[in-house]
């Protein structure tokens, strides 16, 4: 049985604030204070008025659309205020599908989409560059899109069909823009460093002669017919070692280098005021970037950020300097108002002309973290996370950004677990540096590094570590190593016996000490240890099979999990095969017939009068993919989200063992969500 209760259920973000790279800012050209931002893997947001929250306009993207939950470009139709185009797709490798154009006629409230004949890389090198999608100002049925590997493309029917512009001579395009002073002039910057103009919608091209080194990163056209460019030696947003800022006169086609301080690193965003004052951001300056201001057309620049005041609702931002400043924008309706992007969110000032500029971390509503694993112990704090880039947090208040991130800082942390009977004892694994793992004895308030790590380990790994129910043993399979165990808090690691395969996720029984499980999905085997990880054996060889091993991005559609308060109770979300459970430690599994497909499974506090925990699943039931809960071991299911709130890919789901009806789920680039009954 399946019934939707989403109207009686509230789903909100767990507050962190930002947490990921914002790759571009676009002000609506006609509507005051309407701003859109694109992210590399966390969707697209808009903000309609000053001091209001940002709203993600791509939350309706489903599991099957999660690949498109990163936008490489945003474009507007200047003759139709509500029409917005998104150029979407995360990667351009051989295994990735073609990109899509998403089109909205109502400012991003709903979208239709068309497949395009090339791939898009919103999470690849060059993603912080200027826009690669533009709408012709004079003929809005005509669109141009730049590919990073197969040239320039054109549509003459509002983005529905596309043809390659064969007259354009290069294949790798950095950005496109139309000249605001001569609207028929299309400007294209290639990755080779060349700049091209066309004044007849791409039929013919003029190559602008230049002897510059590097490639154009972003550009801005001034009111006096000049184009200002930032140039760098590589695409960024990482690895840029040098760059410069140049001005091109559109009458004489002469280049002039601006007198801006050039240190290590390069230059990202550039913005021009109406009176030709200039803002330029640096990029890749040892995670300590700067914004320079010129009031004399670029003859001299002065730094702004080093003398600024910073105000943030997110305490973790005090631990990070502004970096990856790929874009900076001036509000076209209020030139005092300026925003710039970073690798962890957006900063905004309401008066750029103050002697000491005040910047606000205005990321309310923006949640762009990738929490690979989350846990909800039955004692202590209700939620603890492991996240890419910024470690993870103890979330003592779901509606406020946590007071501090996990310390000491390790950056990308992709696995976390707690001891079921002693929940203040935890373990985690991270990727940044040896020894790749830590433990905590005080509920994640402080972490202590292991003294060693398994032989040949190269990184901590995704969902790769578990701790026994009594906290006496850890089992770990880091990247590149065999499954190993430690009984002395990571001082020494010993390879587990039994030829248990490496590269699969590990879980522990939360009640029965010494018991661990590994689901070898390719063969359909369940491996079990009953001696604290010293050895494993196959307890079940007849489980559903899956073609994929877990990947470094955590995106496989199966998992195994243990009930938090009952020993020997295991649930298997087996992807296309459905949902299964065992109550005898894995010897026998029963199929839940009401579920078509199941991808993630977790458990929360039981309903009144029931003695079994609530089951939460990310699954497909009656051809609808969503988040479901069951109070009766899977006989009846209630959907708790709706079609407009699907959040792309979900990495982890768990209930709260102390609050009936509450669940937490972590996403690929949209942070952590929590849901509960109204």
Residues labelled catalytic:
40, 389
List all residues 6 or more positions away from 155 whose beta carbon is below 8 Å from its beta carbon. Answer: 101, 142, 143, 144, 145, 161, 162, 163
**Per-residue three-class SS string for 54-111:** CEECCCCCCHHHHHHCCEEEEEECCCCCCCEEEEECCCCCCCCCCCEEEEECCCCCCC
At 531, is the secondary structure helix, strand, or coil?
coil
The two tokens of residue 662 are 């509450």
Nearest to 69 by CA among 55, 88, 86, 45: 88
Rounded CA gap, 451 and 437, in Å? 9
The two tokens of residue 355 are 């002697």
Nearest to 272 by CA among 309, 225, 235: 225
At 502, is the secondary structure helix, strand, or coil?
coil
What's the burial of 362, exposed, middle or buried (CB within 10 Å: 0-12/13-18/19+)? buried
Kindly report whether the peptide bond that precedes residue 191 is cis, defined as omega within 30 degrees of 0.
no
- The DSSP letter of residue 231 is E
At 317, is the secondary structure helix, strand, or coil?
helix
Contacts 24+ apart (CB under 8 A), 345-353: 345/17, 345/18, 345/19, 345/20, 345/22, 345/314, 345/317, 346/18, 346/22, 346/25, 346/37, 347/310, 347/322, 352/279, 352/293, 352/304
Sign of CA dihedral 570, 571, 572, 577: positive
How far CA 189 is from CA of 82, 131, 174, in Å, comes to 28, 11, 5
Q: Are 363 and 345 in contact (CB under 8 A)?
A: yes
Rounded CA gap, 135 and 118, in Å? 18
Q: Are 138 and 183 in contact (CB under 8 A)?
A: yes
The counts of H helices and E strands in the chain are 0, 56
Kindly report whether the peptide bond that precedes residue 435 is cis, defined as omega within 30 degrees of 0.
yes
The two tokens of residue 61 are 């993207």
Going through 397-480 in order, the beta strands assigned E by DSSP cover 413-418, 426-430, 437-440, 448-449, 465-467, 474-476
Rounded CA gap, 573 and 558, in Å? 5
Rounded CA gap, 24 and 345, in Å? 11
Q: How far apart are the first and last CA of the chain?
A: 23
């Amino acid at each position: 049985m399946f019934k939707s209760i989403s109207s009686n259920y509230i789903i909100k973000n767990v507050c962190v604030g930002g947490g990921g790279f914002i790759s571009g800012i676009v002000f609506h050209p006609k509507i005051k204070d309407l701003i859109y931002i694109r992210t590399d893997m966390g969707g697209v947001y808009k903000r309609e008025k000053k001091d209001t929250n940002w709203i993600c306009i791509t939350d309706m993207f489903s599991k099957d659309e999660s690949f498109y939950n990163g936008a490489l470009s945003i474009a507007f139709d200047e003759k139709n205020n509500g029409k917005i185009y998104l150029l979407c797709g995360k990667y351009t490798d051989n295994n990735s599908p073609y990109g899509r154009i998403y089109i909205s006629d109502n400012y991003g409230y709903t979208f239709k989409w068309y497949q395009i004949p090339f791939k898009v890389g919103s999470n690849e090198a060059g993603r912080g560059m200027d826009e690669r999608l533009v709408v012709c100002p004079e003929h809005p049925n005509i669109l141009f899109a730049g590919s990073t590997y197969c040239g320039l493309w054109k549509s003459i029917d509002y983005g529905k069909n596309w043809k390659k512009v064969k007259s354009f001579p290069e294949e790798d395009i950095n950005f496109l823009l139309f000249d605001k002073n001569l609207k028929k002039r299309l400007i294209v910057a290639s990755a080779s460093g060349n700049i091209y103009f066309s004044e007849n919608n791409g039929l013919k091209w003029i190559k602008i002669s230049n002897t510059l080194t590097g490639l154009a990163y972003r550009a801005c056209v001034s009111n006096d017919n000049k184009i200002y460019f930032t140039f760098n030696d590589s695409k960024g947003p990482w690895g840029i070692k040098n760059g410069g800022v140049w001005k091109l006169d559109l009458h004489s086609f002469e280049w002039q280098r601006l007198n801006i301080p050039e240190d290590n690193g390069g230059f990202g965003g550039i913005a021009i005021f109406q009176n030709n004052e200039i803002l330029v951001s640096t990029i890749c300056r040892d995670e300590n970037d700067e914004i320079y201001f010129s009031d004399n057309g670029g003859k001299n620049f002065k730094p702004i950020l080093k003398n600024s005041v910073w105000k943030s609702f997110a305490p973790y931002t005090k631990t990070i300097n502004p970096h990856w400043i790929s874009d900076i924008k001036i509000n076209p309706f209020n030139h005092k108002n300026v925003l710039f992007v970073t690798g962890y969110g957006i900063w905004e000032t309401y008066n750029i002309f103050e002697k000491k500029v005040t910047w606000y971390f205005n990321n309310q509503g923006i949640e762009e973290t990738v929490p690979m694993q989350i846990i909800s112990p039955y004692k202590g704090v209700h939620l603890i996370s492991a996240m890419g880039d910024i470690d993870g947090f103890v979330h003592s208040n779901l509606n406020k950004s946590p007071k501090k991130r996990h310390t000491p800082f390790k950056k990308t942390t992709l696995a976390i677990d707690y001891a079921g009977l002693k929940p203040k004892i935890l373990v985690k694994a991270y990727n940044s540096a040896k020894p790749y793992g830590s433990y905590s004895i005080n509920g994640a308030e402080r972490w202590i590094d292991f003294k060693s790590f398994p032989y040949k380990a190269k990184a901590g790994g995704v969902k790769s570590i578990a701790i026994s129910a009594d906290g006496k043993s850890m089992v770990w399979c880091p990247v590149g190593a065999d499954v190993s165990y430690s009984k002395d808090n990571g001082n020494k690691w010993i390879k587990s016996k039994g030829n248990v395969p490496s590269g699969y996720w590990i879980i522990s029984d939360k009640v029965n000490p010494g018991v661990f499980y590994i689901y070898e999905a390719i063969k359909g085997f369940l491996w079990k240890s009953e001696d604290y990880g010293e050895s494993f054996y196959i307890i079940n060889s007849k489980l559903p099979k899956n073609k994929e091993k877990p990947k470094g991005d955590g995106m496989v559609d199966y998992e195994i999990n243990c009930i938090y308060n009952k020993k020997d109770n295991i649930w298997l979300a087996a992807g296309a095969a459905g949902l299964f459970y065992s109550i005898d430690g894995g010897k026998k599994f029963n199929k839940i017939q009401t579920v078509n497909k199941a991808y993630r499974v977790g458990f929360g506090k039981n309903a009144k009068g029931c003695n079994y925990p609530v089951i939460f699943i990310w699954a497909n039931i009656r051809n609808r993919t969503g988040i479901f809960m069951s109070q009766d071991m899977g006989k009846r299911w209630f959907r708790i989200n709706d079609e407009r709130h699907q959040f792309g890919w979900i990495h982890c789901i768990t209930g709260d063992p102390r609050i009936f009806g509450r669940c937490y789920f972590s996403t690929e680039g949209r942070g952590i969500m929590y849901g509960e009954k109204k």
